[in-house]
Amino acid sequence: MSDAFADRLLAWYDQHGRHDLPWHHDRNAYRVWVSEIMLQQTQVTTVIPYFEAFMQRFPTVRDLAEAPEDHVLSHWSGLGYYARARNLHKAARQVVQEHGGHFPDDQETLETLTGIGRSTAAAIIAQAFNKRAAILDGNVKRVLARYHAVPGWPGKTSVLQQLWQHAEAHTPTERVRDYTQAIMDLGAMVCTRTRPACEDCPLQTDCLARQRDEVTLYPGSKPKKAKPEKTTWMLILEDAEGRILLERRPPSGIWGGLWSLPEIDPAHGVDELQEACDRNLGLSCAEPELISGFRHTFSHYHLHIRPARLTVTGDATVADSDRLRWFFRDEALTLGLPAPIRSLITEPEQTALL
């Protein structure tokens, strides 16, 4: 049975949709999957150069599976939400080890792979295999919430269930690949979060939110909660050879698995940093030189970063060489580094009193 929603959306897509994105070329499950993971929490224009560089370095799922994690994180640096990259790496190894390097083409098996949920699995099935599967990413949630005037925050289970029901009902049996791209494009290009271009929307005549002049009320907002504020010292420690000391962060949590700068409890004053370096790292240092501080926002809190540069005056040997390691700057920049840390390493000339 034909669905007017899908028919109008496809007609719009044929004329106005995006048909030439990088993952549309040489389309296969691997390329679709990487693009879908990158597009979580990130806009298309930001993703495109990262995707192209990633494909150049890891052209196949086997290349990704066999690569060191540092190389994977390095090519993700700047995209944020680094758990995505670690999960991507783990899932690539699962595909190689458990499926002979071939992506499964069924929903249930795809969802057993690390980091692949219901919507991502459906996108792979629809986009790579052109088989019917309903997707529900952020753009699609917004389109459906407005079209059907579904109240409430989509993160709430009852609201999400309603949106899934609508997603399943509208997904056609023909041209599934085009339909899934079309509804994502509509959300990204027309039914935008702010200032939606309703006059350009192929669904405007029977969109309930538009009929009620309540477009901006849908989807419902996440209940707001004030983000806590945290502070830390970050130390740019340099040895006599000009190397920088980096610390690998634990595999889970903020910046998990990435290399970062050693941190010191903010309760320490500037005049205590030398003593803290000696006590915590076993390194004797000259007086600190302060760098401009800044605030970095994570999904759950704000972090005030207070950087300080110190030159190691004695033996630069560190005891915990698995966690702490010296790198020349050029070498450090090939590692998986959080964007703020990369900036601190590449722009040390921005020196000023905090």
**pLDDT at residue 202 tops 80:** yes
- Name the catalytic one among 36, 241, 275, 287: 36
Task: Kindly indicate the confidence band of residue 354, based on its pLDDT and cuts at 50, 70 and 90.
Answer: very low
Question: Can you tell me whether residue 99 is helix, strand or coil?
Answer: helix
Mean pLDDT of the chain: 92
Question: What is the pLDDT at residue 348?
Answer: 54
Give the pLDDT mean for 169-178.
Answer: 96
316 has pLDDT over 90: no
Residue 347, number of CB atoms within 10 A of its CB: 11
Q: Which of 72, 81, 97 is nearest to 37 (CA)?
A: 81
pTM here is 0.81
Q: Helix/strand/coil (H, E, C) string of 133-196? A: CCCCCHHHHHHHHHHCCCCCCCCCHHHHHHHHHHHHHHCCCCCHHHHHHHHHHHHHHCCCCCCC
Confidence grade of residue 1 (pLDDT, cut at 50, 70, 90)? very low
* pLDDT at residue number 263: 93
Which pair of tokens denotes residue 163?
């949106």
Residue 111 to residue 195: CA distance in whole angstroms: 35
Residue 41 CA to residue 264 CA, distance in Å, equals 31
pLDDT at 197 over 80: yes
Whether the per-residue pLDDT at 2 is higher than 60: the answer is no
pLDDT at 339 over 80: yes
Looking at residues 71-92, what average pLDDT do you find?
92
pLDDT per residue as tens digits for the range 213-224: 999 999 999 888
32: left (phi over 0), alpha (psi -120 to 50) or beta: alpha
**Hunting for tokens 């005056």 — which residue is that?**
313
Q: Which residue has the higher pLDDT, 127 or 316?
A: 127
Q: What is the pLDDT of residue 61?
A: 97
Q: Are 127 and 181 in contact (CB under 8 A)?
A: yes
* Banded model confidence at residue 251, pLDDT cuts 50, 70, 90: confident
Residue 223: per-residue pLDDT: 85
**pLDDT band at 232, cuts 50/70/90?**
very high
Whether 290 and 216 have beta carbons less than 8 Å apart is answered as no
Residue 325: the pLDDT is 92
Are β-strands 302-311 and 229-238 bridged in parallel, bridged antiparallel, or unpaired?
parallel
From the CA atom positions of the chain, what is the Rg in Å? 24
Please report the pLDDT score of residue 216 as a whole number.
93
Structure tokens at 330: 């050029």
- pLDDT tens digits along 136-166: 999 999 999 999 999 999 999 999 999 999 9
φ and ψ of 81, to 5 deg: 45, 60
- Provide the pLDDT for residue 35: 97
Please give the average per-residue pLDDT across 157-176, as a whole number: 96
- Per-residue pLDDT averaged across 265-287, rounded? 90
Averaged over 166-192, what is the pLDDT? 96
Rounded distance between C-alpha atoms, residue 16 and residue 18, angstroms: 7
Q: Rounded to an integer, what distance in angstroms lies between the CA atom of residue 21 and that of residue 45?
A: 10
287 labelled catalytic: no
Distances (CA, A) of 288 to 9, 89, 325: 60, 38, 20
* Residue 217 CA: distances (Å) to CA of 143, 145, 199, 246: 12, 10, 18, 46
Lowest mean pLDDT among 176-180, 296-300, 323-327: 296-300
Higher-pLDDT residue of 319, 337:
337
